[in-house]
Amino acid sequence: MVIALAVFLPLLGAFISVWLSRKKPALSVIVSQLFLSGGLLSTVLLSIKLHAWNLKDLGNSIVLHTGVGAPPLSINLEVTAGAVIVAIVVYVAAILGVTRLADRNVKTQPLLLSLVTASLGLLFATDLFNSFVFLEIGSIVTIGLTAACKCSRRWEVAVKVALVSGLVTILYLLAVVVVYKTTGELRLEALGMLQGIPALMVSALMLTVIMTEIKAFPMSGWGLDFYQGASTGIAGIYSATWSLAVLMWSAKVLPMLPVPNLEILAWIGAGGLVLGQLAGFRASNPGRMMGYSSAAYASMLLVLAGTTTGNDYLQLTLVLMVFAAIAKFSVFMLGNPEKKNPWKNAAGNLLLLPILLIIGIPPLPVFWAKFRLLSVLAGVSPLMLAAGAVGLFLEAVYLLRLWSQRSVGLKKNGRLLSMVASVLMVAGAVWLTSVSWKSLSFSGSLISSPTLRILFMAIFGGGTLLSLLGARNRIEGERKYWFWMLLSGVSLTFLPLAGNGITFYILWEVTAFAAVIAVSRGKKATTGTFWFAVFAAASGFLLLVSIVLSGNMFIAPGIPVVLAAIAVLFKLGQMGTHLWSVRAYSAAPATMPAFLAGTSSKAAILLLIVTALGTGIVAVPAGSVLAWAGALTALSMAVMAALSSDYKKVLAYASVSQIGYILVGLGLASVLGWTAAIYHTFHHFLFKTVLFLGAAGVIFRTGTSDYNRLGGLVRRMPLTFTFTLISVIAFAGVPPLAGFGGKWFLYNGLIETGWLPIALIAMFASVVAFLYAFRLLHAVFLGQLSSANAKTREAPLALLVPQGLLTAALMLFSFKPTLFLQHIVPAIESLPGLAGVAPIIDGNLVTTAIGSWNAWAVGMMVMGLFGFAFVFYWLSGKRPKHVGQLDIGFAGELPPSPEEVHYAGNFFKPYRRALAFLPRIHAGKLFSGITEILKIAGDMVRAIFTGDARTYLAHSLIFLVIFFFWLRGGI
């Protein structure tokens, strides 16, 4: 009874509303909602009865007999646990959709209600011909709704859909004839009874029908045109009801196909995934992008059908398809169909959530399925894994582009509907996380040393707290991003505790994408955020593949290490990939870079350490690659920083340059090298956070980050100046402050190992670092005060307090580094596989084979000299004469404005000239080169989607013929 209600209540509603919608439209909407709600209630009851929600036995089912007798004489509707969950989603989408359609045209209601019955019928169908009838209902409703929608291309779309469904009808009936003629019955199971040539023919026919219906590449042409041309309302409802039902029906039928080896399907799917997404990469229309994404999911279904079986298969398809459908629904509902780009004004976050879900960012539900999907692929063939990962990454890129095309923070089109969808998505995340909880581990076993774990947690936790404190000022409406910063920080803090690959990956991705959202809150954040997101996605996918390839081990030797290393480079924004970091830092809300550069970037260092530990410490050749990369980064980025004249950019380049030293240290694979690296990691955190917070204050008060418009702020912002000064001295590596220690260890290690060329480069880089540090101080704080900044005040307290705390810590550890080292050095010594001798710590004295360093003594001496000089200067009695800024002599000329005489302008012109002979290497060129190649390839692939409906039919038929003869093994 309940099943009958679930399936046929909407149909009764449809029959009523065809009359009621003409007489009493308002009442008709309510009645439709009632019938739909009744059906929804029935499906929910069914789901409880079938224990569907624990996902343990999705094949579990109850049956409704229809007609007279039992199958094969009559037809059954079989409600499986998996299908009933899908049915609930269909109902929710329809209930939301009815209100949306009711705004436009009440008379479409009978169609929508019939579509729900057809969807459920298809989900529960067990009969070949019965499925055909439901498929036809769906096609007809789709044509009708499209032709009646508010979209300028309605006729073109309707004609195309009609042509394609006409072809499907013919092919399907041919399959029915062969099946009945050969087996004498029409249950879906009859497909499996076929043998010989009829089996091959039916396989070819049914696979063509299915791939055309689910819009899998290369038969996706009509689907792309549909999503591009149909109004967003229709496309949204379609994707969450009918399209979803067809996908799940296909998931049911595909494993029954009598092909000799189901793995063929996986290869078709994997190939389609790469080629289809390559074409999608070129898409510029947002609706079309959604179409390509839908083709990606169709391909994934084929892959799954070819590689997995049993409950695994049911779970994976269910999670992938259901949540992707909800997400698509949400995206489409946000679109404004009357606009050329419907998502121009969409609310940013509501749009981002579904897009992140489709991409598969944890802990959003699709992630669980994609992770397992890639694991399965890795088991089949590395080639298939590569195809899967590349396809999914390309999809991620164009979906992120869809998101970044919007203009920030306007309008509220479809906000309510998509909020409901968002709630569903978040609920799904909670649900699946609770189901999959056991696969997570927080034992911290990835890092064997508890001291290092605590150190990293302290950096992450402390950095997050201080950045949050900084974000509590009211700069440029920043209050909206602190939650995302918090989320990013919290998951970051737990990162050192991760006990296995999947846990590490989840925390890594949450950190990255929460930061993406936070950055997107900046005022001019669009391109910067896009690049940030793309690189975050790239590093995520690389890490994911690397984890999947490693199996239970975290980062196995070989290819996984290389992939993880590239992931680290992307995350760090190293040379070549600094593209994103520089753009994102300069685009982000003012305090966000402090968090990203100071705190979040250390996650990559952590990954590097974990990788090194997991593989038994980086072997020397790999280590030297790392060290060279680090050294060259340090130098080149330092040069970039010196020549740049934007406050944020200089800091961003400088930050990347500093990370180079850490890489050199880790690459040494010796105790000294690692001591240098970890020492520097910690101090980099301290001073970089101070510098970026200081920059945030300056930019907030003056409204610019351009060196040429700053200057002389020392009198206006003395505290900020002091903190910045100390940090600059620290990172320039001038004794007695902290930066010196790191360099000292590093040179010790390099000399110990005998890597003198790298030592030379590193040393030269630190000279250049001196140049940009010097320039920074002068350009911003010294020199002429620009008249525009004459009334500037000190930075807000919320920014100063964290700077003060960090500076205090910096001073403490500068003079007493042994406080830090006496814990760290034993911890590093205890790690397995590190070469070399550990430094000996005795009181304030640190001794290595090469020399010794007593920071306390050096510090005291320097302070003593400084104090002596200061007292001497004070006592000498010469007082400077204070004059007004424009109190200068001139002869018959107007005095130039302060900006013109500010010597920050063209500060390093000579150096720039000296370096002019070098070819201008742009890292951007590498990536734009890759992009160009992808674009050309994408253009070649998408040329098959000519737009002529008959070409699309030809695709299906050609596929049919080729597949048949291929199965048969020749003509």
Partner 1 sequence: MSTVFYWTIAGTAAGLVLVGLWGILTRRHILRIALAFTVADTGVNLLLVWSGYLPGRTTPIIDDSIPVSGMASAVVDPLPQALVLTSIVIGVAVAALFVVVGVLASRRTGSADVRRMKELRW
Partner 2 sequence: MIRTLTGLIIVLALGAVVAAVVPEMQMHEELQGVGFTYASRGMYETGSSNLVTAVIVAYRGLDTLGEVVVLFCASTAVILILTLFPIGIKPSEPSGIVAFTAKVLPAPILLFAVYFIAHSHTSPGGGFPGGAIIASTFLLVMLGSSSIPDSSGRIPAIESLAGLSFGLLGFWGVMVVGQFLNNTFLGTGTPGELISAGLIPLISIAIGAKVASEFSGVFTAFRNTGSRV
Helix (H, G, I), strand (E, B) or coil at 618: coil
Residues 857-886 that bind partner 2 (CB under 8 A): none
| Site for partner 1, residues 910 to 969, rule: CB under 8 A | 942-943, 945-950, 953-954, 957
Instruction: Supply 54's token pair.
Output: 């624990």
CA 232 to CA 176: how far, in whole Å?
35
| 262, 251 contact by CB (below 8 A) | no
The CB-of-965 to partner 2 minimum distance in angstroms stands at: 8
At its nearest, how many Å lie between partner 2 and the CB of residue 90?
16
**Segment near partner 1 (CB under 8 A), from 128-136, 260-268, 611-619, 842-850?**
128-136
In whole angstroms, how close is the CB of 136 to partner 2 at the nearest point?
A: 5
Query: Which of 484, 532, 755, 964 touches partner 2 by CB under 8 A?
Result: 964
Rounded to a whole number of angstroms, the minimum distance from the CB of residue 182 to partner 1 is 10
Stretch that binds partner 2, among 143-151, 666-674, 725-733, 882-890 (CB under 8 A): 143-151
**Alpha helices by DSSP H, 436-481:** 450-471
CB of 134 to partner 1, least distance (A): 11
Q: 923: buried, middle or exposed (CB in 10 Å: 19+, 13-18, 0-12)?
A: middle
Q: Residue 958: name its binding partner from partner 1, partner 2, none (Cβ under 5 to 8 Å by kind).
A: partner 2
Distances (CA, A) of 37 to 32, 107, 118, 150, 330: 8, 19, 17, 27, 20
CA angle 580, 583, 589 (to 5 degrees): 115
Q: Which of residues 227-246 bind partner 2 (CB under 8 A)?
A: none
Instruction: Return the one option of partner 1, partner 2, none that residue 224 interacts with (CB less than 5 to 8 A, by type).
Output: partner 1
What does the DSSP assignment read for 701-760? Answer: HHS--BGGG---TTTT-HHHHHHHHHHHHHHHT-TTSTHHHHHHHHHHHHHHHT-HHHHH
Residue 136 near partner 2 by CB under 8 A: yes
Note whether 4 binds partner 2 by CB under 8 A: yes
What is the bridge-based pairing of β-strands 76-80 and 840-842? unpaired
In this structure, which amino acid lies at residue 798? A
Residue 176 is which amino acid? Answer: V
Residues 6+ apart with CB under 8 A from 945: 220, 221, 224, 225, 279, 951, 952
**Considering beta carbons, is residue 140 or 435 the nearer one to partner 2?**
140
Q: Give the H or E element holding residue 840.
A: strand 840-842
Q: Measuring CA to CA, which residue among 117, 113, 110 is closest to residue 77?
A: 117
Q: DSSP alpha helices (H): ranges in 754-890?
A: 756-780, 797-815, 818-830, 855-875
Stretch that binds partner 2, among 7-15, 346-354, 583-591, 595-603 (CB under 8 A): 7-15
Q: How far is CA 580 from CA 539, 653, 710, in A?
A: 12, 11, 25
Contact 291, 160 (CB under 8 A): no
Residue 15 engages partner 1 in binding (rule: CB under 8 A): no
Stretch that binds partner 2, among 105-113, 224-232, 352-360, 811-819 (CB under 8 A): 105-113
Number of residues forming the site for partner 1 (CB under 8 A): 48
Supply φ then ψ for residue 426, to 5 degrees. Answer: -65, -40
Measured over the CA atoms of residue 464, residue 470, residue 475 and residue 480, the dihedral's sign is positive
User: What CA–CA distance (Å, rounded) separates 66 from 76?
Assistant: 6
Candidates 126-134, 297-305, 634-642, 901-909: pick the segment binding partner 2 (CB under 8 A): 126-134
Distance from C-alpha of 618 to C-alpha of 666, rounded to nearest angstrom:
8
Contact, 327 vs 358, CB < 8 A?
yes
Residue 111 engages partner 2 in binding (rule: CB under 8 A)? yes
Q: Provide, rounded to whole angstroms, the least separation between the CB of residue 1 and partner 2.
A: 5
- Smallest distance, Å, CB 167 to partner 1? 7
Question: Which of partner 2, partner 1, none sits in contact with 316, Cβ below 5 to 8 A by type?
Answer: none
Question: Rule CB under 8 A: which of 250-279 touch partner 1?
Answer: 279
Rounded to the nearest angstrom, the gap between the alpha carbon of residue 739 and the centroid of all alpha carbons in its chain is 34
For partner 2, give the closer residue by CB, 916 or 971.
971
Q: Which one of partner 2, partner 1, none interacts with residue 58, CB within 5 to 8 A by kind?
A: none
735 binds partner 1 (CB under 8 A): no
State the minimum distance, in angstroms, from the CB of residue 42 to partner 2: 12
- By CB under 8 A, tell whether 225 contacts partner 1: yes
Q: Tell me: does residue 203 bind partner 2 (CB under 8 A).
A: no
Of 197, 410, 767, 871, which one interacts with partner 2 (CB under 8 A)? 197
Nearest to 179 by CA among 202, 203, 197, 204: 202
The answer to whether the beta carbons of residues 131 and 125 sit under 8 Å apart is: yes
Q: How many CB atoms lie within 10 A of CB 915?
A: 13
Q: Residue 725 contacts by C-beta under 8 Å, 6 or more apart in sequence?
A: 777, 781
Contacts of partner 2 in 919-958 (CB under 8 A): 950, 954, 957-958
Sole window of 176-184, 434-442, 767-775, 932-940 interacting with partner 2 (rule: CB under 8 A): 176-184
Instruction: Report what 372 binds from partner 2, partner 1, none; CB cut-off 5-8 Å by kind.
Output: none
**DSSP 8-class letter at 443:** S
Spatial distance between the Cα atoms of 536 and 528, rounded to a whole number of angstroms: 12
Tokens coding 446 = 């990835």
Radius of gyration over every alpha carbon of the chain, rounded to an integer in angstroms: 32
Nearest distance, CB of residue 133 and partner 2, angstroms = 3
By C-beta, is 144 or 589 nearer to partner 2?
144
Closest contact distance (angstroms) between CB of 148 and partner 1 is 10
Nearer to partner 2, 77 or 373 (CB): 77
The single residue among 12, 62, 95, 835 that binds partner 2, judged by CB under 8 A, is: 12
- Site membership for partner 1, residue 224 (CB under 8 A): yes
Q: What angle do CA 593, 596, 597 make, to 5 degrees?
A: 80
242 exposure class (CB count in 10 Å sphere: 0-12, 13-18, 19+): buried
One DSSP character per residue, 324-335 reads HHHHHHHHHHHS
Q: 412 or 968: whose CB is closer to partner 2? A: 968
Q: Which does 408 bind (CB under 5 to 8 A by kind): partner 2, partner 1, none?
A: none
Chain residues 140-179 in contact with partner 1, contact rule CB under 8 A: 140, 143-144, 147, 153, 155-160, 162-163, 165-167, 169-170, 173-174, 176-177
User: Applying CB under 8 A, which of residues 44, 62, 129, 156 lies at the interface with partner 2?
Assistant: 129
* SS3 per-residue string spanning 74-92: CCEEEEEHHHHHHHHHHHH
State in angstroms the smallest separation of the CB of 17 from partner 2. Answer: 8
Size of the site for partner 2 (CB under 8 A): 70
Q: Say how far apart CA 640 and CA 381 lie, in whole Å.
A: 43
The entry of partner 1, partner 2, none that residue 69 binds, CB within 5 to 8 Å by partner kind: partner 2
- Within positions 45 to 104, which residues make up the interface with partner 2, using CB under 8 A? 64-69, 72-75, 77
For residue 169, the partner it binds in partner 1, partner 2, none, with Cβ less than 5 to 8 A by kind, is partner 1
At residue 670, the 3 state secondary structure works out as: strand
Per partner kind, with CB cut-offs from 5 to 8 A, the member of partner 2, partner 1, none near residue 173 is partner 1
Contacting residues toward partner 2, per CB under 8 A: 1, 4, 8, 11-12, 14-16, 18-20, 22-23, 64-69, 72-75, 77, 105, 107-108, 110-111, 114, 117-118, 121, 127, 129-130, 133-134, 136-137, 140-141, 143-145, 147-148, 178, 180-186, 196-198, 201, 204, 950, 954, 957-958, 960-961, 964-965, 968, 971
Contacting residues toward partner 1, per CB under 8 A: 129, 133, 136, 139-140, 143-144, 147, 153, 155-160, 162-163, 165-167, 169-170, 173-174, 176-177, 180-181, 186, 224-225, 228-229, 279, 282-283, 288, 942-943, 945-950, 953-954, 957
